[in-house]
Amino acid sequence: MIEVYLIHLLIIIGIYIILATSLNLALGYTGLLNLGHIAFFGIGAYVSTLLSINTSLPFLLIFIMAGLFTSIFGYLLMVATNKLKGDYLALATLGFNFVIYSLFLNWTSLTRGPLGIPDIPKPSIFGLIIQSNLSYLIFVAIVCCLSIGFLYFLLKSPYGILLQAIRDNELTCKVLGKNTFKMKWQAMATSAFFAGIAGVLYAHYITFIDPSSFSLYEIILILTIVLVGGLATLKGSILATVIILIIPEILRFFALPSSILGPAHQIIYALILILILMYRPKGLFGKVDLG
Amino acid sequence: MIVVQLLINGIIAGSIYALVAVGFSLIYATNRFIHFAHGGFVTVSAYLIYLFFTLVGLNFYISALLTILIAGFLGWLVYKLVYAPLKKRKVSNAVLLIASVGLLILLENLMLLIFGADVKSVGYIQIRKGIEVFWGIITLLQIVIVILTVILLLILWFFMKKSRLGKIMRAVADNAELANIIGIDANKFCYLSFIIGTALAGVAGILVALEQNIEPVMGTGLIIKGFTGAIIGGVVSVPGSILGSYLLGLVENFGIWFLPSGYKDAIAFVLLFVFLLFKPTGILGLRGKDREQKL
Amino acid sequence: MAKTKKIILWLIVAIIVIGGIWYGVTKKPVEKGAIKIGFIGPLTGEAAIYGTSPKKGADLAIEEINAKGGINGKKLELIVEDSKCDPKEAVNAINKLVNVDKIKFIIGGMCSSETLAAAPTAESSKVIMISPVSTNYKVSQAGDYIFRTVPSDALQGKKAAELAYQKGFRKAAILYVSTNDYGLGLEKVFKEEFSKLGGTVVISEGYAAGDSDFRTQLTKIKFANPDVLFIPSQMPGNDLIVKQAKELGIGCQIIGTETMQDENFVKTVGKAADGIIFTSFAEYKGAQADAFSARFKAKFSEEKTIYSDYAYDAVYALEKAMTACKDVQDSVCVKTELYKTDFIGATGPVGFDENGDVKGKDFAVFKIENSQFVPYEK
C-alpha cells in the first residue's frame, strides 16, 4: 500500500522536476526573469487536454504538439518583453501569467472556465494504454530522464556556455557579434516547451484540470524550488524538488487538524523562500545570484 | 440614468484601489522596489480593526487609531527585519520583489490560521439605502472613502512635489549614495516611507473592512488592483497612482456594462500587461530617467 | 568548510527523505479487517462548513454502527480527505482513496463541483459515492454508482420559480455565481421554470466566486426594473450582494437558496436580511429526526448542524445495503441493494430513484425574520 502512495508522490515529483529544470534554463542559465513559467505549464495542459478529447490524434503527436504550441508562447513572450529589464521584466512576465489565467477562466466555450475539464483520457502509446499508476510512473520517469538529459547536454555544450555568458554580460556578447535576442528567445521557447510537456503529463495523470492549478501559488512553489536548489544547476533543481514536495507529507505526520495544515503549508513555503533569499541566495548548489 | 450610477460605481471602486495604491506607491517612490506585501498589511489592518472593535469592544475611533499606529509599526518592522538586511547585501530589485510576494503569502496565511476562513464583518455601520445624488445612489461611507482619497491625493501631491521632505525622499530614491554624501541619511527615509506607507495601508484596511467585509485573501486581489492602478498612473508618482486607480475603477465598471461581468478581473490584467509592455512608467510617470539602474 | 556544508546538506536531505518514508510505513495501521469508508469534502477554505458539518453526522452514524458490532462483525472506519470545495482536489482525493486505500464506498463529494469532477473516476472504478450535500441537477446523470440523499436543484429552482410566480411577480432578475455548477445550475432551472409559468427573466447577471463588488451588476439589475430578485449564490458573496443591493436602493423582494440558512450570513448582514425568503430543505418532523437531534446534541454539545442529518442517513443507507450483501466489499452488489433502499432516517423516508436521487424529498420555503429562519406561510 505504501508503494502505491510512493508511486503517486514520485509521479508528481517527476513532473515538477521537469518544470523546475526548465525554469532554471531560462532563469538561472540565461538570466531571463520569467515569473510566468506556470502559464506555460497551463497552456501545455489545456492544449493536450482539448486535443485528446476533441480529436483522435495519436497521443504522442498531441504530446509533441502541445509542447511546440507552448514554445510558441515562449517565443512571443520573449519578443514582447525584450526591451524590459529587472523588476519590470519580472512584472511583465507575472502579468503574462495573469492574462493567460484569465483566458483559461473566461474563454468558457473552449475551456469550460472555472468548471474545468474532467475525464481526460489516459495516454495511449502505440496501442498500449497507460492505465495503472505504476505504468504512468514509468512513462513520467522516461520523459523526465530524456528532458534532463537533453537539458544537460544542451547546457554543457558551447551553446549553453554562451547562454550563461548572455546572462552575465549581454552587452559584451552583442559587441562580440552574437545575436543575443535570438538565443534568448530560443532559450525561452525551449523552457516553455518542457514546461508544456510537464503540463501534458500533469493533465493526463490527474484527469481533471481547471484554471486554479495555474495561479500565483504555483508560481511561488516553483520559484521556491528553483531558488532553494540554486540557479544554473540542474542537480540543485532536482534535489530541491524532492525536498520541497516531501515537506507536506512530513507535515501530515504531525497529525495537525486540517484547518492548521493548509495555512501551515503555505507559511512554511513562504518562510523558506524569504529565508533562502536572505541567508542563502545561492540556494543549495547555485552558481549565481538572482537578477 | 444608468450612466451616472456606473460613474459613481467606478469612482467608488477607484477610490478603494487608490487607498491601497497610495501607500504602495509612496514606498515605491522612495525605495524603488515593488513591495507586494503591502496588500498583506491591508489585510492585517482589517483584522486589527476587527480585533479591537468587534472582538475586544473598544471604541471605534480608538480602535482605528490603534490599527493605524500598529500598521505603521509593522511597516517599520518589516523593513528592519527583511528589506534592510537584503538591501545591505545589494540584492537586485527582482529579489526584493520575490521576497515581498513571499511576505504577502505569509501574512495572509497567518490571518487564515489565526482568524479562520469565514467572512468577518466589523459591524460598525448599519446597512441601509444610500443617499440619492443626482441620478445615482451612494452611501455615506462611500462618500467618506472618496473624499478621503481625494484629500490624500492633494496632500501627497503637495508633499511630494513641493515640500522639503518630499523632495528629500525623491532625492533619496533617485540616488541613495549621493544623498548620503550630501548628509542625508537615506536609510532613515526608507524607514519613514515604510512607516507612513504601511500606516496608509492601515487606513485602507479599516475602510475596506467596513465597506467589503474581511477575509484572509482580500489582500491579494486588492494589491493586484492597487498595483495595476499605480502602474497605469505612474507608480513613481504617488498622485499618479491615485489617478490611475480611478481610471482602472472606471474602465472596469463601464467595461462590464458591455462585457459579461466575469471579465472584470480580465480587464484589469490585460490593462496591466499592456501598460507594463508599452508604457511601464504610466501616464503621469516621468519619462525614462526614473527606471531601474540595477538589472 | 564548503565540504562540511555539503555534508550537512546531504544529511538534511537524507533525514527528510527517510522521515517521509518512515512516516508512510508507520502510518496508523488500519484495524485488521475494518471496513474503510471514504469521505470527500471541504474541511478547510471558505466552504469548510459544507464539509465539517456533514462529517459530524457521518461520524455519529459510524460510531453508532460500530457500537452495535459493525457490519457482519467488522467495524467501520472513515478515511477522510479534504477537498476544499475544489474539483481538482476532489479528483486527487478520490484517486488516493481508490488507489491507495482501496476504498469502495465514499460519502462525498460535498460541493456539487466536487461530486461532478470525481464521478467519472468513481464510475470507472465501480466505487459508490453518496453525497449528502450536492444539489446540482447534473448529479442525477453523473452515473450509476452516484447517489445523493439531498434533493436536486432541479426541484429547488422550480420551487423558487413557483414561489416567485405565486406571489404575483412576473419580471425576475437573477444574480448568480457563474463560476461553479451550483450557481449555473440554479440559474438555468429557475429561468426555464419561471418562463414556463409565464414570467419573464428580464436580466440575468453572473459574478465570479470571490468577487466583492457587485455594484455594476446590481446597477444593471436595478435599471431593468424587476419585481423580484433571485440570488443563487454562496457565502462569501451573499452578504455583500444583499448589502450592496440595499445600498443601491433595490427594493424588490429577494429570493435566496439554502445557502442563506447560515448563521454567519444573518450575523454579517443584520437587519438587511429581514424579509428575505429562501428555499431550503423541507424539515422532517418525525421520531427519527428527534432521536437524531438528541444523539447529535449528546455527542457534539450543539444543535444539529446543516447537512449533518443527510450525511447520517447516507451512512445508514450504505450500511443497510452492505449488510444485505455476502461480500461487503462487493460494490456491484451494494449498488444494486442501494437502489432498493427503503427506511426512515433522520431526514425522513430514504429511498433512491433510478438516477440515484433521493425519493420523495422536496424543498420548502423559509423567511428571515428578526435574524431567525422561520417557515414561510403564504
Q: Is the CB of residue B81 less than 8 Å from the CB of residue B103? A: no
pTM of the model: 0.86
Return d(Cα C82, Cα C97) in angstroms, integer: 11
Return the HEC string of chain A.
Answer: CHHHHHHHHHHHHHHHHHHHHHHHHHHHHCCCCCCCHHHHHHHHHHHHHHHHHHCCCCHHHHHHHHHHHHHHHHHHHHHHHCCCCHHHHHHHHHHHHHHHHHHHHHCHHHHCHHHCEECCCCCEECCEECCCHHHHHHHHHHHHHHHHHHHHHHHHCHHHHHHHHHHHCHHHHHHCCCCHHHHHHHHHHHHHHHHHHHHHHHHHHHCEECHHHHCHHHHHHHHHHHHHHCCCCHHHHHHHHHHHHHHHHHHHHCCCCHHHHHHHHHHHHHHHHHHHHHHCCCCCCCCCCCC
CB atoms within 10 A of CB B83: 24
Average pLDDT of the residues in A163-192: 89
Count Cβ atoms within 10 A of the Cβ of residue C349 and give its class: 0-12 exposed, 13-18 middle, 19 or more buried: middle
pLDDT exceeds cutoff 80 at C8: no
Asked if residue B128 belongs to a domain, the reply is: yes
**Is there a contact between A199 and A39 (Cβ–Cβ < 8 Å)?**
no
C-alpha cell at A175: 559587441
The whole-number pLDDT of residue C45 equals 74
CA dihedral A241, A242, A246, A248 (to 10 degrees): 0
Tell me what pLDDT residue B153 has.
83
Compute the average pLDDT of residues C147-160.
93
pLDDT band per the 50, 70, 90 thresholds, residue A253: low
Residues of A in contact with B89 (CB under 8 A): 281
Interface residue C270 vs chain B (CB under 8 A) = yes
Residue A40 has pLDDT above 80, yes or no: yes
CA distance linking residue A190 with residue A25, whole number of Å: 8
Q: What is the pLDDT of residues C228-266, one digit of tens each?
A: 999 999 878 899 999 999 999 999 999 999 889 888 888
Question: In 3D, which of A191, A248, A174 has the Cα closest to residue A24?
Answer: A191
Pairwise CA distance, residues B93 & B290, whole Å? 14
Closest CA to C195 of C187, C183, C205, C185: C187
Give domain status of residue B29, yes or no: yes
Residue B132 lies in a domain: yes
| Beta sheet of C363-369, edge-to-edge order | C200-207, C171-177, C228-231, C253-256, C277-281, C363-369, C372-375
Residue B139 domain-assigned? yes
Residue of chain A with shortest Cα separation from C101: A1
Structural contact between residues C109 and C366, judged by C-beta atoms closer than 8 angstroms = no
Q: What is the mean pLDDT of chain A?
A: 88
Chain B residues with CB under 8 Å of C212 CB are 212-213, 218, 221
Cβ <8 Å between B127 and C179: no
Give the per-residue pLDDT at B295.
Answer: 30
Nearest chain C residue to B122, by CA: C268
Q: How far is B285 from chain A (nearest CA, A)?
A: 14
Q: Which residues pair with C367 in a beta bridge?
A: C277, C374
Show the cell assigned to B215: 477575509
Q: Which residues of B touch A113 (CB under 8 A)?
A: 262
CA B126 from chain centre, in angstroms, equals 26
CB-CB under 8 Å, C25 with A2: yes
Q: Is residue B177 part of a domain?
A: yes
Contact C200, C134 (CB under 8 A): no
pLDDT at C340: 93
Distance CA B95, CA C29 (A): 46
Q: Tell me the helices (H) and strands (E) count for chain C, helix number first.
A: 12, 14
pLDDT at B51 over 50: yes
| Spatial contact of C148 and C130, defined as CB atoms under 8 Å apart | yes
Residue B276 covered by a domain: no
Residue A76: exposed, middle, or buried by beta-carbon count in 10 A (0-12, 13-18, 19+)? Answer: middle
Q: Which residues of C touch A256 (CB under 8 A)?
A: none
C-alpha cell at B295: 538589472
Alpha-carbon gap, residue A246 to A267, rounded angstroms: 15
C-alpha cell at C87: 474539483
pLDDT attached to residue C128 = 96
Based on C-alpha coordinates, what's the Rg of chain B? Answer: 19
Total count of domains within chain B: 1
CA C39, CA C105: separation in Å to the nearest integer?
9
Whole-number pLDDT of residue C3? 63
- For Cα atoms B143, B145, B146, give the angle at the middle one, nearest 5 degrees: 65
3-state secondary structure of C271: helix
Q: How do strand C200-207 and strand B136-138 relate by DSSP bridges?
A: unpaired
Tell me the per-residue pLDDT of C11-61, one tens digit each, with 9 for 90 and over: 666 666 666 566 555 555 555 678 999 999 998 777 888 898 899 999 999
Q: Please state whether beta strands C128-131 and C146-148 pair in parallel, antiparallel, or not at all (unpaired).
A: parallel
- On whether residue B258 sits in a domain, the answer given is no
Chain B with chain C: Cβ pairs closer than 8 A: 100
**Is residue C341 exposed (0-12), middle (13-18) or buried (19+ Cβ within 10 Å)?**
buried
pLDDT band, very low/low/confident/very high, at C1 (cuts 50, 70, 90): very low
Name every chain B residue with its beta carbon within 8 A of the beta carbon of A259: 116-117
User: Which chain A residues are Cβ-neighbours of B115 within 8 angstroms?
Assistant: none
Is some CB atom of chain A closer than 8 A to the CB atom of B137?
no
Task: Indicate if the pLDDT at residue A248 is higher than 60.
Answer: yes
Q: C105: part of which helix (H) or strand (E)?
A: strand C105-108
pLDDT confidence tier of residue C169, bands split at 50, 70 and 90: very high
The residue with cell 519590470 is A88
pLDDT digits (tens, 9 = 90+) for A68-78: 999 999 999 99
* ipTM of the complex as predicted: 0.84
- A121 in contact with C, Cβ within 8 Å: no
Local structure of C147: helix, strand or coil: strand
Q: Which residue of A has its CA nearest to C15?
A: A243
pLDDT greater than 80 at residue C186: yes
pLDDT value of residue A2: 59
pLDDT of residue B289: 43
**Percentage of chain C lying above the pLDDT 70 cut:** 91
Using a CB-CB distance cutoff of 8 angstroms, which residues of chain C are in contact with residue B120?
A: 268
Alpha carbon distances (Å) from B218 to A31, A49, B99, B254 = 33, 32, 19, 23
Dist. CA B179–CA A290, nearest whole Å = 27
Distance from CA of A222 to the nearest CA of C (A): 18
**C162 neighbors C193 (Cβ within 8 angstroms):** yes
The per-residue pLDDT for C5 is: 61
Does a structural domain hold residue B148? Answer: yes
C156: cell is 429547488
Q: What is the extent of the structural domain holding B177?
A: 2-215
Can you read off the three cell numbers belonging to residue C261?
Answer: 440558512
SS3 state at C374: strand
Interface check for A85 against chain C (CB to CB < 8 A): the answer is: no
CB proximity C124 to B under 8 Å: no
Give the mutation candidate from A4, A49, A115, A245 for the C interface (greatest C CB count, under 10 A): A115
Say yes or no for a CB contact (<8 Å) between C217 and B261.
Answer: yes
What are the phi and psi torsion angles at B153 (to 5°)?
Answer: -55, -50
**Element housing C256 (H / E):** strand C253-256
Q: Which three cell numbers stand for residue A9?
A: 508522490
B262 or B252: whose pLDDT is higher? B252
Residue C137 neighbours by CB under 8 Å, 6+ apart: C152, C153, C154, C157, C185, C188, C189
